[in-house]
Amino acid sequence: MATLRYNAISNFLVESELAFCRLCNRACDRYWIEKFFALVSRLGNGIVWYTLILVLPFIYGKQALHVSIRMALVGIAGLLIYKMIKSTTERLRPYMVDKAILPGTPPLDKYSFPSGHTLHATSFSIIVLYYIPELFWIIAPFAILVAISRVVLGLHYPTDVLAGVMIGSALSVFIILL
């Protein structure tokens, strides 16, 4: 009886999440929305973060070098953790499960859990904002858009994004405390 109840709840949650993904993905019916989120996703794949790692010491001087080093460390740790989790969970992407969901951009790999883009956007943002809070109005909106882009583009479930936020937050706190 408990197994039947668990399966019913589990199926309801999966279907609810897919329905939400379908709803978000419909935004890509508008060309400019799809292209906007594809650009955000592409920039969030490393371009913005790697550029920031290199540029911060030039803008803020030697005192920002430790911020760049922490960002590099969290980037490496995040990559290792997210690849390990993805290879063990093997959760297919929403567009692979539901043909009504169309990918707005090609995925980097086959599996969706957790969202690596979101994990890195969260961890890099927390580190930067901890040390350089005046960048909040640039960094925070961009990180949020990266997370949203993953669901809108049909590449991740909301729980993938949530897991990315949680792992990225934990990693950044750990690296800050080092």
CATH of the domain at 71: 1.10.606.20
Domain residues for the domain of 141 are: 2-177
pLDDT tens-digit readout, 53-112: 999 999 999 889 999 999 999 999 999 999 999 999 988 899 998 899 999 998 888 899
Q: How far apart are CA 94 and CA 72, in angstroms?
A: 30
pLDDT tens-digit readout, 133-164: 999 999 999 999 999 999 999 999 999 999 99
For the question of whether the overall pTM of this predicted structure is more than 0.75, the answer is yes
Indicate if the pLDDT at residue 30 is higher than 80. Answer: yes
Q: How many domains does the chain have?
A: 1
